[in-house]
Amino acid sequence: MILMSPPCQPFTRIGLQGDVTDPRTNSFLHILDILPRLQKLPKYILLENVKGFEVSSTRDLLIQTIGNCGFQYQEFLLSPTSLGIPNSRLRYFLIAKLQSVPFPFQAPGQVLMEFPQTESEHPQKHAIDAEKKIEEKKIEPNICSDSSTQCSGKEAILFKLETAGEIDRKRQQDSDLSVPMLRDFLEDDVDMNSYFLPPKSLLRYALLLDIVKPTSRRSTCFTKGYGRYLEGTGSVLQTTEDVQVENIYRSLTNLSQEEKITRLLMLQLRFFTPKEIANLLGFPPEFGFPEKTTVKQRYRLLGNSLNVHVVAQLIKILCE
């Protein structure tokens, strides 16, 4: 079995998207070069990468190589939310098996958006339904085409630069009783003082924060910049349950900076601890870091990690 996660930088949407011309792809291209020349091919292959890999030239070369070697394969774009885990972490996966018979759920040329449900389910319908579901959940940018015109409907900005559509989506996620609350993944009896957001950061990034509560059933993807940067690196936790986020943000208008900070501090926002993120990623309770590693290093490692449950489910499907 070959398990691999090639460098993702050449394929990220916010990067240069160098693809096969990026030197960081060379190690993976080398594997593709030697794979057909192996005396004994691996029976199984599982590959992970970022969303964007599925439209790359490197992916095309991978598909061509494993096809020539006699592998049956299926591609996925999966998030832990598909398994009822309250954390979004969309990633590209490919499973391949050295066999002549296709997978029961195999959908040639399609990227499945969910785990296979049943062998009798038509794979094409499954993929189309999933794509339709994703489309329905997409939110338009929080920008009006005319700055002098107020947005309306689901695109109307209510507070904290969030549209009505975004707020409705989050409320739907939090009302899904099949997903456990975040409090099931939180640490107890740990000094959290070092994890609270600094006042200056609160003031600067207040409108960009994704705020969740222990009772929430969702959280955004945690990246390697979590704990150091606030924009787009992961959710922060509101630890006061008797204060409404909406009320705090609506009250900030026309306040001085000091008054705004005072109001925002009432939310008692903090970062998730490395252990809590590890819990959301599916690492076992006994998992820990070497004592010599810093909190920053732990965040970086977790930001580059995978969800254990997602990978385990794919390996199970692959080996059936």
Per the structure block, which two tokens stand in for 306?
């995978």
| Whole-number Cα distances in Å, 251 to 207, 211, 212, 261 | 13, 17, 19, 12
Helix 57-68 with 26-34: angle, nearest 10 deg: 20
More confidently predicted of 15 and 18: 18
CB 172 within 8 A of CB 154: no
Local structure of 31: helix, strand or coil: helix
What is the DSSP-derived secondary structure letter of residue 266?
T
pLDDT tens-digit series, residues 75-131? 999 999 999 999 999 999 999 999 999 999 999 889 999 999 744 344 344 343 434
Whole-number Å distance between alpha carbons of 139 and 131 = 14
Structural domains of the chain in order of their starting residue, each with its CATH number? 2-133 (3.40.50.150), 139-175 (no CATH), 177-306 (3.90.120.10)
Q: What predicted TM-score, i.e. pTM, was given to this entire model?
A: 0.82
Compute the distance between CA of residue 81 and CA of residue 87 in angstroms, rounded to an integer. 6
Which tens digits make up the pLDDT trace of 19-40?
777 778 888 889 999 999 999 9
8 Å CB contact between 7 and 56: no
Q: What is the dihedral of CA 188, 194, 200, 206, to 10 degrees?
A: -20
Distance CA 80, CA 83 (A): 5
Active-site position among 8, 144, 151, 319: 8
Could you confirm whether 8 is annotated as catalytic? Answer: yes
Which burial class, exposed, middle or buried, applies to 239 when counting CB atoms under 10 A from its CB (0-12, 13-18, 19+)? middle
pLDDT digits (tens, 9 = 90+) for 248-259: 998 888 899 999
